Amino acid sequence: MRIDVLTLFSDMFASPLDYSIVKRAKDRQLVNIVLSNIRDYASNSYKKVDDKPYGGGPGMVMMCQPVFDCLENVKKQDENPGRIILLTPGGRKFDQNLAKELANEKRVILISGHYEGFDERIRIGTNAEEVSIGDYVLSGGELAAMVIIDAIVRLLPGALGDEYSAANDSFSDGLLEYPHYTRPEVFRDMKVPDVLLSGNHKEIEKWRKQQALEKTKTQRPDLLS
Ligand code: 6GU
């Protein structure tokens, strides 16, 4: 899979994508993450990528020209057209289902903005889908892009050591995940539940299912309806 990111701050991506599962997936060539700097495409001599909003108001708006030129260049670097996603707090909310959908694509192009937002003609002219990672406002789309990349990449076949880990994840069956324990059996008077030490796999399965349900009921009742 190829993931393109169009950003003003490509350096921000180095460290978060160089650890753990994402790093391993890159090393195994399950994913090729290509960063493009929008500013490199600014045609004006000041490398300006933002300007004041028409109609007035605070903040700066991402200009059309650098984004369109960057996107057109990036698109033609690979034969797969790719799904084009504009990262904005006003978009469709990212969730595990969308992560699964995107993990099945051959190519995804993420456009990360900064400042007050994008010139609306970027959305209209690129036909991009708008995606948000939640109901809060970030200073830019970079962290959102990294969140989305992480959620996608760990779903790629071969990215996780144990193929079962993703199947048991929270949300994968509509429930939160059951609680886990590891050694020691007792830590500061807190004991591992007996059933997990019983060796009775049927009972363990039953307990985990019931715990997942309980947890979902208290923490996220919205998932059950
Ligand atoms: Cl994708 N961008 C920004 N700036 N803020 C957000 C977001 C995206 N998703 C949630 N908040």
Given this model, what pLDDT does residue 203 score?
98
Domain end point (choices 153, 180, 206): 153
The closest residue, in CA terms, to atom 6 on ligand 1 is 89
C-beta of 133 in contact with ligand 1 (< 6 A):
yes
Say if CB 116 and CB 61 are below 8 A apart.
Answer: yes
C-beta of 21 in contact with ligand 1 (< 6 A):
no
- For residues 96-115, average pLDDT: 96
Given this model, what pLDDT does residue 23 score?
96
DSSP state of 63: -
* CATH (domain of 191): 1.10.1270.20
Nearest CA to 80 among 32, 13, 12? Answer: 32
Question: Could you read off the pLDDT of 19-60 as tens digits, one per residue?
Answer: 999 999 999 999 999 999 999 999 999 999 999 999 999 999
Rounded CA separation 113/86 (Å): 8
The mean of the pLDDT values for the chain is: 95
Residue 206 lies in a domain: yes
Nearest CA to 51 among 38, 39, 61? Answer: 61
Given this model, what pLDDT does residue 172 score?
78
Residue 164 lies in a domain: no
Given a cut of 70, is residue 164 above it in pLDDT? no
Q: How many CB atoms lie within 10 A of CB 149?
A: 22
Q: What is the DSSP string of 85-126?
A: EEEEEEEEEP-HHHHHHHHTSSEEEEEE-BTTEE-HHHHHHH
Question: Could you read off the pLDDT of 108-147 as tens digits, one per residue?
Answer: 999 999 878 999 999 999 999 999 999 999 999 999 999 9
Phi, psi of 91 (to 5 degrees): -85, 180
C-beta of 143 in contact with ligand 1 (< 6 A):
no
Residue 205 lies in a domain: yes
Given a cut of 80, is residue 168 above it in pLDDT? no
Given a cut of 90, is residue 68 above it in pLDDT? yes
* CATH (domain of 98): 3.40.1280.10
Instruction: Print the domain residue range for 196.
Output: 170-224
Ligand 1: atom nearest CA of 134 is 10
- For residues 6-29, average pLDDT: 95
- For residues 138-159, average pLDDT: 97
* Structural domain total, the chain: 2
Given this model, what pLDDT does residue 114 score?
84
In 102-139, which positions are buried (b, 16+ CB within 10 angstroms) versus exposed (e)? Answer: bbebebbbbbbbbbebbbeebbeebebeebbbeeeeee
Given this model, what pLDDT does residue 154 score?
96
The closest residue, in CA terms, to atom 7 on ligand 1 is 89
Given this model, what pLDDT does residue 37 score?
98
Given a cut of 70, is residue 163 above it in pLDDT? no
Question: Could you read off the pLDDT of 174-202 as tens digits, one per residue?
Answer: 899 999 999 999 999 999 999 999 999 99
Which residues form the catalytic set? 89, 116, 154, 169
Residues 125 and 200 in one domain: no
Candidate of 60, 138, 147 to mutate for ligand 1, largest count of ligand atoms within 8 Å of Cβ: 138
C-beta of 144 in contact with ligand 1 (< 6 A):
yes
Residue 160 lies in a domain: no
